[in-house]
Amino acid sequence: QVQLVQSGAEVKKPGASVKVSCRASGYSFADYNTHWVRQAPGQGLEWMGMTNPGGDRSTYAGKFQGRVTMTRDTSTATYYMELSYLRSEDTAFYYCARDLTFDPSPILDYWGQGTLVTVSS
Amino acid sequence: NFVLTQPHSVSESPGKTVTISCTRSSGNMASSAVQWYQQRPGAVPTNIIYEDKERPSGVPDRFSGSINSSSNSASLTISGLRTEDEGYYFCQSDGSDHPVIFGGGTKLTVL
């Protein structure tokens, strides 16, 4: 079955970087876009960006441009999201999600379990 | 980019029907597909409606989606409410700059 398994919770100091992983299984890893979405405690969903199936093109939300990098490792079927220059407002659950379609409007049909990143001095 | 506005909360009794709206601030709602996600307390979001009105396998037909061009909005209707339907519901569409735009979310209480 399709699974996206993310890395464990992280605690970081302001100004540091965090790298969250998302290992895919149960489907052809290279056939789908993968998105990253975050959710601050008690807040809504916020789209961060996506990586294409080839892993050679990522699109980022303007808010995160210059601070986020999304990559993938084909050999391990793992996607990565690295966020730098962390501040307290970045404390949130970070989710990876598979995009079912290549249509203009993504359909996020499978989600990882989420990774809590806490930024605190 | 446009904004998708949802009511902060709705509540209704078990067995009743509730409708959650998602209004697009500019542009034509009907020009892009709308998805809906359910997030139960402490859980991961799951897709319950895609392409305006389609249900993924396993989603009961108590859940339905529609587009209202006159109000430039999408709606999620849940009939035969159950306590397990409690949680947050998010609409999602796509914009020219951002492939994914989420509504702010609506908290559903079944009391």
CA dihedral B35, A23, A36, A98 (to 10 degrees): -20
Would you state the pLDDT for residue A39? 98
pLDDT one-digit tens code per residue, B20-67 = 999 999 999 998 999 999 999 999 999 999 999 999 999 999 999 999
Interface test with B, best of A5, A37, A45, A59 (most B CBs within 10 A): A45
Percentage of chain A exceeding pLDDT 70 = 100
- d(C-alpha A77, C-alpha A24), whole Å: 6
Interface test with A, best of B40, B44, B90, B96 (most A CBs within 10 A): B44
Nearest CA in chain B to A61: B98
- d(C-alpha B95, C-alpha A8), whole Å: 32
Closest approach of B99 to chain A, Cα-based (Å)? 6
Q: What is the 3-state secondary structure (H, E, C) of chain B?
A: CCCEECCCEEEECCCCCEEEEEEECCCCHHHCCCEEEEECCCCCCEEEEECCCECCCCCCCCEEEEEECCCCEEEEEECCCCHHHCEEEEEEECCCCCCCEECCCEEEEEC
Confidence bin at B78 (pLDDT 50/70/90):
very high
Cβ neighbourhood burial of B1 (10 Å; 0-12, 13-18, 19+) = middle
- Please answer whether residues A10 and A16 qualify as being in contact, where contact means their C-beta atoms are separated by less than 8 angstroms: no
pLDDT one-digit tens code per residue, A8-57 = 999 999 999 999 999 999 998 788 999 999 999 999 999 999 998 888 88
Cβ neighbourhood burial of B83 (10 Å; 0-12, 13-18, 19+) = exposed
Question: Angle at the Cα of B75 (from B42 to B19), degrees rounded to 5?
Answer: 70
Across the interface, whether the CB atoms of A46 and B102 are under 8 A apart is answered: yes
Across the interface, whether the CB atoms of A104 and B100 are under 8 A apart is answered: no
Q: Which two tokens stand for residue B103?
A: 């509504």
Neighbour count for residue B61 (Cβ, 10 Å): 8
Across the interface, whether the CB atoms of B44 and A112 are under 8 A apart is answered: yes
Question: Angle at the Cα of B59 (from B58 to B61), degrees rounded to 5?
Answer: 120
B contact set with A (CB within 8 A): 32-35, 37, 44-47, 50-51, 56, 88, 90, 92-94, 97-105
C-alpha atoms less than 13 angstroms from C-alpha of A74 in its C-beta half-sphere: 8
pLDDT at residue B100 greater than cutoff 90: yes
Nearest CA in chain B to A115: B44
Q: Which two tokens stand for residue A49?
A: 């960006």
- In the numeric block, the tokens 């037909």 are attached to B61
Nearest CA in chain B to A96: B44
Q: How far is CA B49 from the centre of its chain?
A: 8
